[in-house]
Amino acid sequence: MGAEHGQVWYLPRVQPIVLKGKKMTAIQNRLGRNAELIARAEDIMPGACLGLFQLPSDQAMVIASGSGPYLWDVEGNQYIDYVLGSGPMMLGHAHPAVVEAVQRQVAKGSTFYTLNEPIIELSHQIVDAVPCGEAIKYVSTGTEATFHALRLARAFTEKSTVLKFEGGYHGAHDYALVGAINGLRDGEDRPRSDSAGIPTPVSATVLVSPFNDPDAARRMIAENANELAAVIVEPLQRGIPPARGFLQSLREATRDHGVLLIFDEVVTGFRLAYGGAQEYYGVEPDLATYGKAIGGGYPIAAVCGRRDVLALSDPARRGSDSYAYLGGTLSGNPVAAVAGLATLNEMRRPGVYERLFATGNRLRQGIETLGRDLGIPVQAPGEGPVFQVFFTERPIRNHQDSSAADAALAWQFGLELLDRGLFHTPGAKFYISTVHGELEIARTLEAFEGALRAVKARRA
Ligand SMILES: Cc1ncc(COP(=O)(O)O)c(C=O)c1O
């Protein structure tokens, strides 16, 4: 069963907003089953969380279910979801086309460690959609995809160093967690690792340049050309769009110096356009990494791009110096593949991207207008379906700018949104799904206003 565009298939059980004194709050019951389960998690799960997403204990919740743009916690509180599983749930939760495809596949077997029809079909659909697509290989997470793309680049160029951008996030491996969260300190030319336990010789192979500074990047590429295997970039870095000509200048400098250009499209793939950021910004890299949306909520990720580079992962080369190992137990898993196929099928429907962008832009403009009206310096850079809220007047062009914004205010604002029934990672990105509609936009703008007023009152 496919869901017709615009048809509401989910359950919009909208809770009444309760006025409690002056504070408008939608969420009141988080101290029963939520608190019990969180205490149980705290016993043995450090931080009682799964990764970075961690809320103060009186606001933390355990999610029981999701449908369309909504989530419910174990006490029945309803949230409009702007996390979307950190991006994958672009169609919303439990989309009928995805549920049906997955159920059908699960009944036929879950994983085979070898070729299956859905993964071959998904491969063709991705390669056809992606401008740089000539060949493709799979892993299970975005982290693995960027790790293997960098390895392929090193194998292909026979060089060891990689260049990334300050504040750019490419997952949790040792090469990615350099200059991603901490950035560069003033006057430093070596980036800091973002995690303990990363061997210094590994982080020494990673150079970091400021995002949106084409001259600095060109200089670094030219000066390090003899050691540099690849430049990896999030084309839309977190919520920060590339300045005009920035991606193009990376393309030209890498080509001139025999360096591969990798677009990390784990977020932007099939989200900014069907052909991802390369189509949207009109720049074609050598390799691109995909995750999140291509699995519709199931673990699958890919490295896609030049055939001559991906050819190094052909096991027929095993034993030769050029063989680059790529793969894993669940790579190309058919359940994830059918979820991905169902998702891409929905994304090809006419008007889907227009709607995604229109929804995101209304929310972005809405919060900026509210900020102006209330005298709070707030901006929401991004591209349509993915944006971030910063409290600052300073234009956000790079990590230094976003780090200078008022993070404490962003955190407070995020917690106020949670209290008003918006599920959001305080201080991080908002993701829009194809099923965030008029009702959700209206409620979200109402929550934005309430939260902005609350943080303003607290500051006064
Ligand atoms: C741009 C980008 N690359 C890579 C990753 C890592 O993906 P995963 O969390 O699936 O390992 C992420 C995750 O958020 C991401 O945003």
Identify whether the C-beta of residue 136 lies closer than 8 Å to the C-beta of residue 126: yes
292 is catalytic: yes
d(CA 18, CA 41): 30
H/E stretch holding 403? helix 399-404
Identify whether the C-beta of residue 414 lies closer than 8 Å to the C-beta of residue 425: yes
State if residue 266 touches ligand 1 by the CB under 6 angstroms criterion: yes
Distance of CA 62 to the CA centre of its chain: 22
| pLDDT at residue 382, rounded to an integer | 98
| pLDDT at residue 221, rounded to an integer | 98
Identify whether the C-beta of residue 364 lies closer than 8 Å to the C-beta of residue 387: yes
State if residue 171 touches ligand 1 by the CB under 6 angstroms criterion: yes
Q: Which two tokens stand for residue 58?
A: 């009186």
Q: Please pick, among 264, 286, 401, 419, the residue that the annotation labels catalytic.
A: 264
Nearest to 346 by CA among 83, 11, 93, 97: 97
If pLDDT is split at 50, 70 and 90, which confidence band does 16 have? Answer: very low
Distance of CA 273 to the CA centre of its chain: 15
Q: Please pick, among 292, 401, 419, 429, the residue that the annotation labels catalytic.
A: 292
- Provide the terminal-to-terminal Cα distance of the chain, rounded to the nearest Å: 53
H/E stretch holding 387? strand 386-388
Nearest to 391 by CA among 135, 374, 158, 118: 374
| % pLDDT > 90, the chain | 85
Ligand 1 pocket, mutate which of 177, 211, 267, 268 (most atoms under 8 A from CB) = 267
Ligand 1 pocket, mutate which of 144, 266, 330 (most atoms under 8 A from CB) = 266
Report which residue type is found at 78. Answer: Q
Dihedral (CA of 326, 328, 334, 335) sign: negative
| pLDDT at residue 27, rounded to an integer | 65
d(CA 306, CA 59): 47
Residues 6+ apart with CB under 8 A from 276: 129, 130, 263, 265, 268, 269, 270, 288, 290
Residues of the chain with CATH 3.90.1150.10: 18-81+350-459
Q: Please determine, for residue 187, whether its predicted confidence score (pLDDT) is greater than 70.
A: no
More confident residue, 170 or 5: 170
> What's the residue count for the chain?
460
Residues 6+ apart with CB under 8 A from 196: none
Task: Select the CATH number that applies to the domain covering 96-347 from these four: 3.40.630.10, 2.40.160.60, 1.10.730.10, 3.40.640.10.
Answer: 3.40.640.10
State if residue 191 touches ligand 1 by the CB under 6 angstroms criterion: no
Q: How many other β-carbons are positioned within 10 Å of the β-carbon of residue 32?
A: 11
| pLDDT at residue 227, rounded to an integer | 98
Backbone torsions φ then ψ of 414, nearest 5 degrees? -60, -40
Nearest to 432 by CA among 288, 298, 272, 275: 272
20 is catalytic: no
Q: Please pick, among 10, 82, 138, 169, the residue that the annotation labels catalytic.
A: 169
| pLDDT at residue 155, rounded to an integer | 98
Give me the CATH code for the 18-81+350-459 domain, please: 3.90.1150.10
431 is catalytic: no
Q: Which two tokens stand for residue 405?
A: 């914004």
If pLDDT is split at 50, 70 and 90, which confidence band does 186 have? Answer: low
Nearest to 152 by CA among 52, 39, 229: 229
If pLDDT is split at 50, 70 and 90, which confidence band does 13 have? Answer: low
State if residue 234 touches ligand 1 by the CB under 6 angstroms criterion: yes
Given the CA of residue 234, which atom of ligand 1 is nearest to it? 1
| Mean of pLDDT values over 347-357 | 97
Q: How many other β-carbons are positioned within 10 Å of the β-carbon of residue 188?
A: 11
Nearest to 212 by CA among 183, 262, 247, 178: 247
Residues of the chain with CATH 3.40.640.10: 96-347
| Mean of pLDDT values over 210-221 | 97
Burial label for 437, CB within 10 Å (0-12, 13-18, 19+), is: middle
Nearest to 415 by CA among 47, 23, 49, 75: 23
Q: Which two tokens stand for residue 156?
A: 């292909």
Under DSSP, the state recorded for 446 is H
Ligand 1 pocket, mutate which of 90, 138, 170 (most atoms under 8 A from CB) = 170
If pLDDT is split at 50, 70 and 90, which confidence band does 81 have? Answer: very high
State if residue 170 touches ligand 1 by the CB under 6 angstroms criterion: yes
Q: Please determine, for residue 135, whether its predicted confidence score (pLDDT) is greater than 90.
A: yes
State if residue 169 touches ligand 1 by the CB under 6 angstroms criterion: yes
| Mean of pLDDT values over 14-23 | 41
Identify whether the C-beta of residue 399 lies closer than 8 Å to the C-beta of residue 208: no
| pLDDT at residue 57, rounded to an integer | 82
Q: Please determine, for residue 247, whether its predicted confidence score (pLDDT) is greater than 50.
A: yes
If pLDDT is split at 50, 70 and 90, which confidence band does 336 have? Answer: very high
Q: Which two tokens stand for residue 196?
A: 């303990």
Nearest residue by C-alpha to atom 16 in ligand 1: 267
| Mean of pLDDT values over 290-306 | 98
Q: Please determine, for residue 327, whether its predicted confidence score (pLDDT) is greater than 90.
A: yes
State if residue 449 touches ligand 1 by the CB under 6 angstroms criterion: no
Dihedral (CA of 435, 144, 47, 298) sign: positive
Q: Please determine, for residue 21, whether its predicted confidence score (pLDDT) is greater than 50.
A: no
